[in-house]
Amino acid sequence: MTPNIQIIYASQSGRNQAIAGHLQAQLASKAQTVITEISQADAFELSQSDAIIVVSYTFHDGDLPDEAQDFFEDLKDVDLDRTKFAVLGSSSKTHLHFGRAVDYLTIQLNSSNGEQVADSVKIDRDADDDDWARVDQLAQRVLTSLA
């Protein structure tokens, strides 16, 4: 059966939204995909997906984006029941705490009993060819985990 994958993104200036769109294009032939902006995502429904991929920038001083806070708080009350997941995001090495939101989300999704199926990927601002290759590898790992 075709797996369903939810891609959840937080993006202010478009980089992470573009990564989410790229992921959807990569996965489209092998999975049913839905993209959700993070403030619209329901943490309590995540386990209905076969896998989730969370894409987020980092804001403030190494923190989650404001619009990701509710989702993150709700995750603390969720049992993902071993739902497969992966996390990635574009943030910026010009800041002290590079990509810290990726770390927080990775830790919380593990704590919420998710099954991490790919190493988390941090991208410095605009993705270059190597970064896109890492994004594609992450997508492939998610697909392989569902096969």
Binding residues vs ligand FMN (CB under 6 A): 11-17, 57-62, 90-92, 95, 97-100, 125
Could you tell me the smallest distance in angstroms from the CB atom of residue 58 to ligand FMN?
4
Neighbours of 66 (CB within 10 A): 12
Rounded Cα–Cα distance for residues 38 and 134 (Å): 22
- Complex with ligand FMN: residue 60 or 76, whichever CB lies closer: 60
- Quote the Cα angle for 26-29-34, to 5°: 70
DSSP 37: E
Could you tell me the smallest distance in angstroms from the CB atom of residue 24 to ligand FMN?
15
- Complex with ligand FMN: residue 59 or 78, whichever CB lies closer: 59
- Complex with ligand FMN: residue 24 or 91, whichever CB lies closer: 91
- Complex with ligand FMN: residue 82 or 97, whichever CB lies closer: 97
Could you tell me the smallest distance in angstroms from the CB atom of residue 61 to ligand FMN?
5
DSSP 126: S
Q: Any residues with CB less than 8 A from the CB of 59 and at least 6 apart, and which?
A: 12, 65, 66, 101
